[in-house]
């Protein structure tokens, strides 16, 4: 939460809640409520008091959810999770809860000031988060909004960077739409809930969630600490979500060439950020073990068992046209000398190749043969002149562009119009000729999809797979029922003779 100056007109300041908590000053605010510093006057202990905004406190379902989640967080009882002491309502009917008072700063402030965090320090912070979230998941609670703003760093027993995870309960209220405090990443709520920069693909798609969304968020935080920025950024909420769903994870050094991250730790990050939850670490215990092993320069069993396609870094070189390769100067000089030698030999063969020539005539011929060397020598000398201004190559239009293909659902095989395989499993990337129409057909089981594009630059496309329509089966026409003959009367007995009519 952002710091807020003391507001002397705040009606809560100076009041006593539940007969024991004196509200002294406001210390922060966010999209959901306000935070105050308070004092438990019976035991003279500092506390923090979080108060829901009045409009949210008037919604019974929100208050019930708030109370339930506050109770859940207090039951976890882990040293790396903020302790919640009490819950109640102000005289104006606003819901609040009382929690431990923390002195320090959150990880977001550290990153805002330093840009990056050393790998060993980032690993220590994430390991503490893993221990806290393991206890949380064991209680059936998923945080769903792990981000640097919710990782508070304090000092305890002489240990710096002691982690306290905050904002349990608030993160679970997915039916509220609010704005965040200025200058902070907004917590968007609704059908899709979370902070977009740290949301897993399944969160972005609005699917059923489990504890592996917290594993993904910790992977993003590790990435941000060593790279200095999150891997996916955008101008809009949906723009960021689309990248989480379809964009390949850029290698850390593509975003920050000076990043100090070991190969083992980057593999841990890549596995934690796998698009498919089944390809990630299946719990925070696995992630913690992988981080510890990476610090020792080795791979954990879970990391080593990961499919290579998940861990393989994707180069971003194709985003810029490949420049024309410059020919080395020594190659130009060698070519020029070869030309000189060839001309000299040709002149010698024309003027002195006959065996009859000898004496002065042969000497004249030798002089004539050597003449071209004198006239052609300045050309390679100019090529080798280091003081000459290098000629910049003409800009080259790319002869290939890359098309990243994703399907919904993923895992489909894609073929070109000529029947050749473009890729065997999406998401994938393929080459195309700029300006030529590319027809792609995707198939996954009985689901099929088709897309025609004319790419001119690198781009990402999505093919929606649809199930075949079921044809209605026409019921069989039943034959008319046969008339039954009477067992006692013959049909001939019912006929009337013509003469009697």
Closest CA to 402 of 323, 461, 459: 459
Q: Could you tell me how many residues make up the chain?
A: 501
Residue keyed to tokens 């209220």: 173
Q: What angle do CA 128, 131, 137 make, to 5 degrees?
A: 135
Closest CA to 271 of 255, 283, 261, 256: 283
User: DSSP letter at 280?
Assistant: S
Within 309-365, strands assigned E span: none
CA distance 100 to 148: 19
Among residues 10, 55, 145, 214, the one annotated as catalytic is 145
CB 63 within 8 A of CB 71: no
Specify whether 145 is catalytic: yes
CA distance 201 to 406: 13
Helical (H) or strand (E) element with 443: strand 438-444
CA distance 192 to 200: 11
Helical (H) or strand (E) element with 119: helix 119-138
Pairing mode, strands 21-29 and 16-17: antiparallel
User: DSSP letter at 196?
Assistant: G
CA distance 450 to 56: 47
Pairing mode, strands 33-40 and 21-29: antiparallel
Helical (H) or strand (E) element with 442: strand 438-444
Q: What angle do CA 66, 70, 74 make, to 5 degrees?
A: 175
CA 8 to the chain's CA centroid: 44
Cα distances (Å, whole numbers) of residue 326 to 178, 316, 335, 391: 56, 22, 15, 10
Residues taking part in catalysis? 145
């Amino acid at each position: 939460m952002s710091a807020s100056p003391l507001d002397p007109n705040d009606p809560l300041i100076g009041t006593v809640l539940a007969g024991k908590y004196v509200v002294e000053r406001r210390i922060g605010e966010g999209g959901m409520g306000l935070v105050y510093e308070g004092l438990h006057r019976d035991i003279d202990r500092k506390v923090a008091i979080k108060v829901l905004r009045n409009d949210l406190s008037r919604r019974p379902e929100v208050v019930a959810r708030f109370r339930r989640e506050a109770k859940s967080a207090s039951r976890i009882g882990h040293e790396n999770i903020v302790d919640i002491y009490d819950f109640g309502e102000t005289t104006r009917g606003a819901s609040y809860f009382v929690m431990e008072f923390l002195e320090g700063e959150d990880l977001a402030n550290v990153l805002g000031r330093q840009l990056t965090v050393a790998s060993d320090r980032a690993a220590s912070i994430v390991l503490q988060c893993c221990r806290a979230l393991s206890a949380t998941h064991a209680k059936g609670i998923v945080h769903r909004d792990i981000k640097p703003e919710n990782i508070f760093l304090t000092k305890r027993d002489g240990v710096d960077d002691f982690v306290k995870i905050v904002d349990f309960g608030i993160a679970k209220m997915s039916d509220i739409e609010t704005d965040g405090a200025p200058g902070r990443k907004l917590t968007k709520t609704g059908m899709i809930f979370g902070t977009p920069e740290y949301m897993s693909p399944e969160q972005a798609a609005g699917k059923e969630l489990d504890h592996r969304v917290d594993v993904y968020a910790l992977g993003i935080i590790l990435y941000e600490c060593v790279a200095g920025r999150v891997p996916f950024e955008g101008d809009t909420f949906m723009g960021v979500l689309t990248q989480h769903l379809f964009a390949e994870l850029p290698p850390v050094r593509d975003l920050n060439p000076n990043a100090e991250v070991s190969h083992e730790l980057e593999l841990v990050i890549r596995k934690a950020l796998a698009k498919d939850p089944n390809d990630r670490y299946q719990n925070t215990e696995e992630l913690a073990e992988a981080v510890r092993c990476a610090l020792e320069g080795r791979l954990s069993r879970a990391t080593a068992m990961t499919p290579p396609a998940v861990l393989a870094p994707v180069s971003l070189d194709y985003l810029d046209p490949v420049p024309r390769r410059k020919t080395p100067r020594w190659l130009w000089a060698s070519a020029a000398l070869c030309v000189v030698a060839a001309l000299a030999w040709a002149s010698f063969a024309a003027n002195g190749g006959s065996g009859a020539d000898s004496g002065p005539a042969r000497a004249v011929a030798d002089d004539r043969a050597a003449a071209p060397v004198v006239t052609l020598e300045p050309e390679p000398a100019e090529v080798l002149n280091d003081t000459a201004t290098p000629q910049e190559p003409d800009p080259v239009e790319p002869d290939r562009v890359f098309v990243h293909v994703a399907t919904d659902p993923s895992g489909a095989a894609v073929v070109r119009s000529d029947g050749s395989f473009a890729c065997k499993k999406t998401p994938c990337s393929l080459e195309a000729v700029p300006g030529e129409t590319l027809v792609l057909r995707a198939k996954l089981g009985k689901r099929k999809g088709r897309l025609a594009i004319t790419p001119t630059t690198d781009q990402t496309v999505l093919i929606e797979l649809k199930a075949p329509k079921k044809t209605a089966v026409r019921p069989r026409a039943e034959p008319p029922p046969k008339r039954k003959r009477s067992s006692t009367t013959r049909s001939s007995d019912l006929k009337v003779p013509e003469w009697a009519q």
